């Protein structure tokens, strides 16, 4: 708590949320329009949020104008951080346009199988492979269950964030954000007693509050991925 006057900085491990913009069809005008529409739906979530451009699906394209692409994102109030999964040529072009090649938020391929590293970072593993939290998760708090499921026996507030490599179970109202399978496990699911979340995500595919509202009917819900689409159903159905 005491400020150390000698130290100029502190390194903090973080799971700072970063949105991946996977471009499947390169058309800057269309891209701009679609971004505008998306941001309109959830301004709080997107405005000023960092974005990594994923080139996986347009790898073979040699005509990508990176400085123009960067402008489009900035004009949409996003913060382009860099690119990934492009070809060698694309990488060179991107870097000269001021978009570095980033290696965080790894390739989807690498992470479909969650790696089984030793459990040293799970603070209090309840049983191997799961992390149990019994106190409320308040606004500004973030809980990560590394290589594990996360089980929460208390409310999760607006502004709180749950992350797990495995499933997430919330026996209480889920009002914050829940991201299951954060390292790419598409079989991860989210279960919660009362769904009122700001955002739910499975392996990086997500739905924001506006998209959740119609389907959440107050009962126990589950959220899972089917054909790259996030689905929600009532539990036991």
Partner 1 sequence: MAEVIVVTSGKGGVGKTTTSASLAVGLSNRGYKTVVIDFDIGLRNLDLIMGCERRVVYDFINVIRGEANLNQALIRDKHAKELYILPASQTRDKDALTQEGVQKVLDELQKTFDYIVCDSPAGIEHGAQMAMYFADHAVVVTNPEVSSVRDSDRMLGLLSSKTKRAEERREPVKEHLLITRYSPKRVTRGDMMSLEDVNEILAIPLLGVIPESQAVLRASNAGDPVILDEESDAGQAYADAIERFLGEDKPFRFVSEKVHWIKRLFSIKEKEHA
C-beta of 155: minimal distance to partner 1 in Å? 6
| C-beta neighbour count of 40 within 10 angstroms | 10
Contact flag: residue 143 with partner 1 (CB under 8 A): no
Residues of the chain by 3-state class (helix, strand, coil), percent to 5: 20, 30, 50
Q: Which stretch binds partner 1 (CB under 8 A): 66-74, 91-99, 152-160, 216-224?
A: 152-160
Q: And the tokens for 224?
A: 């899972």
Contact (CB, 8 A) for 147 and 117: yes
Query: What is the nearest approach in angstroms of partner 1 to the Cβ of residue 135?
Result: 6
**Residue among 181, 191, 142, 147 nearest 162 (CA):** 142
By beta-carbon proximity to partner 1, the closer residue of 40 and 135 is: 135
Examine residue 136 and tell whether it contacts partner 1 (CB under 8 A). yes
For the four alpha carbons of 34, 199, 86 and 69, in that order, the dihedral sign comes to: positive
2/7 with CB nearer partner 1 = 2
Q: Which of 228, 153, 157, 160 is nearest to 191 (CA)?
A: 153
Render 95-123 in DSSP notation, one character per residue: HHTT-PBP-SS--HHHHSS-----STT-S
How many residues contact partner 1, by CB under 8 A? 16
Residue 3 as a binder of partner 1 (CB under 8 A): the answer is yes
Q: Minimum Å distance from CB 138 to partner 1?
A: 3
Least distance (Å) from partner 1 to the CB of residue 105?
Answer: 26
Q: What is the contact mask toward partner 1 in residues 167 to 196, using x (rule: CB under 8 A)?
A: --------x---------------------
CB of 150 within 8 A of CB of 170? no
From 59-67, 111-119, 139-147, 177-185, give the range in contact with partner 1 by CB under 8 A. 139-147
Interacting residues toward partner 1 by CB under 8 A: 1-3, 135-141, 155, 157-160, 175
């Amino acid at each position: 708590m005491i400020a150390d006057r000698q130290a100029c900085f502190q390194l903090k491990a973080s799971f700072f949320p970063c949105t991946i913009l996977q471009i499947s069809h390169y058309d800057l005008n269309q891209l701009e329009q679609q971004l505008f529409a998306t941001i309109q739906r959830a301004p709080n979530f997107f405005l000023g949020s960092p974005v990594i451009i994923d080139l996986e699906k347009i790898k073979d394209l040699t005509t990508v104008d990176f400085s123009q692409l960067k402008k489009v994102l900035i004009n949409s109030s996003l913060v382009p951080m860099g690119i990934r999964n492009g070809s060698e040529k694309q990488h060179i072009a991107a870097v000269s346009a001021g978009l570095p090649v980033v290696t965080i938020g790894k390739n989807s391929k690498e992470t479909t199988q969650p790696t089984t590293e030793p459990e040293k970072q799970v603070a209090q593993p309840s049983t191997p492979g799961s992390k149990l939290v019994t106190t409320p998760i308040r606004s500004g708090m973030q809980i990560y269950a590394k290589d594990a499921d996360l089980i929460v026996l208390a409310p999760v507030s607006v502004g709180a964030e749950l992350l797990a490599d495995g499933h997430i179970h919330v026996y209480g109202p889920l009002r914050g954000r829940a991201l299951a399978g954060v390292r790419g496990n598409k079989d991860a699911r989210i279960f919660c007693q009362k769904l009122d979340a700001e955002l739910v995500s499975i392996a990086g595919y997500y739905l924001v509050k506006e998209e959740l509202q119609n389907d959440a009917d107050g009962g126990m819900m589950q959220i899972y991925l089917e054909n790259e689409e996030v689905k929600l159903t009532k539990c036991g159905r």
